[in-house]
Amino acid sequence: MGDLCADCTPLDASRAESICPYCEEPTPWEKVRRYRRNHDNGRVEVLYYCPACRGVLEAASWMER
Protein backbone atom coordinates (compact mmCIF):
# COMPACT_ATOMS: atom_id res chain seq x y z
CA MET A 1 0.00 0.00 0.00
CA GLY A 2 1.23 3.48 -0.84
CA ASP A 3 1.09 6.71 1.11
CA LEU A 4 -1.93 9.00 0.96
CA CYS A 5 -1.67 12.18 -1.06
CA ALA A 6 -1.96 15.54 0.71
CA ASP A 7 -5.65 15.85 -0.27
CA CYS A 8 -6.49 12.45 1.24
CA THR A 9 -4.49 12.71 4.45
CA PRO A 10 -6.70 13.33 7.51
CA LEU A 11 -6.31 16.77 9.03
CA ASP A 12 -4.45 16.91 12.34
CA ALA A 13 -7.03 18.57 14.63
CA SER A 14 -4.34 19.91 16.95
CA ARG A 15 -2.88 21.94 14.06
CA ALA A 16 -6.16 22.99 12.45
CA GLU A 17 -6.93 26.69 12.45
CA SER A 18 -10.47 27.91 12.03
CA ILE A 19 -11.57 31.36 10.98
CA CYS A 20 -14.98 32.76 11.92
CA PRO A 21 -16.90 33.36 8.68
CA TYR A 22 -18.54 36.47 10.17
CA CYS A 23 -15.72 38.45 11.80
CA GLU A 24 -12.73 36.54 10.31
CA GLU A 25 -11.07 36.17 13.72
CA PRO A 26 -9.09 32.98 14.46
CA THR A 27 -11.48 30.63 16.25
CA PRO A 28 -9.79 27.44 17.47
CA TRP A 29 -12.14 24.77 18.83
CA GLU A 30 -10.87 25.35 22.37
CA LYS A 31 -12.21 28.94 22.29
CA VAL A 32 -15.59 28.26 20.67
CA ARG A 33 -18.40 28.96 23.15
CA ARG A 34 -21.63 27.03 23.45
CA TYR A 35 -25.14 27.69 24.69
CA ARG A 36 -27.14 24.63 25.76
CA ARG A 37 -30.89 24.51 26.31
CA ASN A 38 -32.81 21.50 27.70
CA HIS A 39 -36.51 21.02 26.97
CA ASP A 40 -39.11 19.20 29.10
CA ASN A 41 -39.60 16.52 26.43
CA GLY A 42 -35.91 15.48 26.63
CA ARG A 43 -34.73 17.42 23.59
CA VAL A 44 -31.38 19.20 23.90
CA GLU A 45 -30.36 22.12 21.70
CA VAL A 46 -26.80 23.44 21.55
CA LEU A 47 -25.53 26.50 19.69
CA TYR A 48 -21.80 26.83 19.09
CA TYR A 49 -20.77 30.46 18.63
CA CYS A 50 -17.73 32.66 18.03
CA PRO A 51 -16.35 34.22 21.24
CA ALA A 52 -15.39 37.41 19.37
CA CYS A 53 -18.59 38.34 17.52
CA ARG A 54 -21.08 35.79 18.92
CA GLY A 55 -21.97 34.61 15.41
CA VAL A 56 -23.53 31.14 15.41
CA LEU A 57 -21.11 28.65 13.86
CA GLU A 58 -23.10 25.44 14.31
CA ALA A 59 -26.34 24.19 15.85
CA ALA A 60 -27.13 20.69 17.11
CA SER A 61 -30.20 19.00 18.57
CA TRP A 62 -30.79 15.53 20.00
CA MET A 63 -33.01 13.57 22.39
CA GLU A 64 -31.86 12.50 25.86
CA ARG A 65 -33.78 10.01 27.92
Q: Taking the complete model, does pTM exceed 0.85, yes or no?
A: no
Q: Is 38 inside a domain boundary?
A: yes
pLDDT at 34: 95
Total domains in the chain come to 1
Which residue, 20, 28, 31, 19, is CA-closest to 53? Answer: 20
Q: Is 54 inside a domain boundary?
A: yes
pLDDT at 45: 96
pLDDT at 24: 93
Q: What is the pLDDT along the chain (65 residues), one digit of tens a residue?
A: 567 676 666 656 555 578 999 999 999 888 999 999 999 999 999 999 999 999 999 999 999 87
Q: Is 56 inside a domain boundary?
A: yes
pLDDT at 56: 95
Q: Is 49 inside a domain boundary?
A: yes
Which three-class secondary structure state does DSSP give residue 18? coil
Question: Structural domain of residue 40, as residue ranges?
Answer: 32-63
Which element (helix H / strand E) includes 25? none
Q: Is 14 inside a domain boundary?
A: no
Q: Is 57 inside a domain boundary?
A: yes
